[in-house]
Amino acid sequence: MSSLLTALATAGPLAAGWSVHTVWLRRSLRSARRDPLTGLRTREGFTRRANVLLKDPRAVVVLADVDHFKQINDTHGHAAGDALLKATADRLAHYVGRDGVAGRLGGDEFAAVVIDTHGTIGDLLAVLHGVLARPADGVDLAVRATVSLGWVGAADHPGEDLSGLLRRADEAMYTAKQARAGVRRAGLGKLLATLSGRRAGRRGSALAGPGDAA
């Protein structure tokens, strides 16, 4: 009996220590999947949740990109740029809510997947575009920026994975940016030429030069 009590007494602290270590690991994993500036999911965390949502045919993939962000950083400083990114992320997360997912893919580029329950996604994104253009709190009013949005419905391209839908949303976003249209839906035709899943000249493409900016 004394041997059993001794073993239990020894195992107790070990079990407690392992439990604490497990909690720490879980928290570390959650932190690693969150962008430290905006609090949004990173690409990995976003992809995990987005793939689950895409099982619903009503899912819509949205890509958002801050217009002329490099110019804002160069003119007003990185603190202003960071505040703008944080505001954009907060507003996008609020729009997406708990039933969708938003993530920061890198730089000034954000993505979201939402479920178009009522078939009104076009109208809702038009409203979101206006919200994203509002000045960020605590930033000089001279720092004004718009955000171009591209979107695609999963049902328009059945069987296409997240990567393909993001490319389509990316092309629609680029068209909206060039036309200063604000929001653009992806067409039903073939994808334009891409390299490594990115349009030539975009961040992440081998053809993008160091001075290229959206």
By three-state DSSP, how is residue 132 classified? helix
Strands 59-66 and 194-195: what pairing? unpaired
Burial class (CB in 10 A: 0-12, 13-18, 19+), 188: exposed
Q: Which of 35, 65, 108, 116 is catalytic?
A: 108
The reply to whether 156 belongs to the active site is no
> What does DSSP assign to residue 39?
-
Helix (H) or strand (E) holding 169: helix 162-179
Classify residue 34 by burial, with Cβ atoms within 10 Å: 0-12, 13-18, 19+. Answer: middle
Residues acting as catalytic residues: 108
